[in-house]
Amino acid sequence: MALATNGTGAAVSVPVNRIEERFADLRQRGRKGLVVYIGAGDPDLESTRRLALAFDRAGVDVLELGVPFSDPLADGLVNQLAAQRGLESGTTPPKVLETVKAIRTESAVPIVLYIYFNLLHRVGLEQFIRDCADAGVDGLLVLDLPPEESGNYESLMAAAGLCPIYLIAPTTPPERIAIIAPRARGFIYYVSREGVTGMQAKVSDTIGEMTARIRSHSALPIAVGFGISNADQAREVARHAEAIVVGSAIVNRIATLGRSPDLVPEVSAFVASLSQAIQS
């Protein structure tokens, strides 16, 4: 247990966060981390649960669950379509949290919700964060919530024992990196290229320079994502970061396989190949 302050400033006891524990363990063992993104409810929430458990066995260190939203502005076509399929399968934020609870009965894999602020605002910030903590969520990556406009979000997250994950991009000015990096917890997500999510033929050649700049402001692990599509790219990016993030390449396989009985074994085998690549 650790101490934090709640929204009123009172000290409260919160559990040590699974994301922080996982990265501390990786650092101690000299290993790189694998962060995997999938759209919750694509093709359905039972598949999401089964994929999560298989990913845990395949070596995933942090699982990002995209909460379906009607206007996913930070996402490319592959992940937009995953969000649409999630909505069509009847996936809602409360149902995602029920799925997290089901995962928690069998797995302690750290879980981050990849989400847009409107969904938190509709429920109420304090209530949503409390519901996430109760379900077993470890962090939130709110795509459209700038730190400067986050109000009491960070204090509520700290009181609940959750990590606010923030994004830094190649276009983020140095003065904003100096503001964002110290306010993150768990890890910093470096978006390795401009634009939306999606698979790319090659990785950016400025990753080393940018991760060094971020490290001058924070000792947190850096996870690099947006565009990593295969084991070779994963291996290359892992040289510059504590973790890599792979999303669209996995989501694309889920889209192809759908409700096929091969969905979980084939997608988890691909994920296992990424996990092996970043340690080589």
Catalytic residues: 64, 75
Question: Residue 68 has which token pair?
Answer: 């379906």
The closest of 144, 79, 93, 156 to 117, measured between CA atoms, is 144
Taking the C-alpha atoms of residue 166 and residue 249, their distance in angstroms, rounded to an integer, is 22
Handedness of CA 126, 130, 132, 137 (dihedral sign): positive
278, 97 in Cβ contact below 8 A? Answer: no
Residue found under tokens 């990786």: 26
The closest of 186, 227, 192 to 207, measured between CA atoms, is 192
b/e sequence 180-208, b meaning 16+ C-beta within 10 Å: bbeebbbbbbbbbbeebbbbbeebbeebe
188, 194 in Cβ contact below 8 A? Answer: no
- The SS3 of residue 259 is coil
Residues 6+ apart with CB under 8 A from 46: none
Taking the C-alpha atoms of residue 12 and residue 266, their distance in angstroms, rounded to an integer, is 44
CA 24-269-27 angle, to 5 degrees, is 10
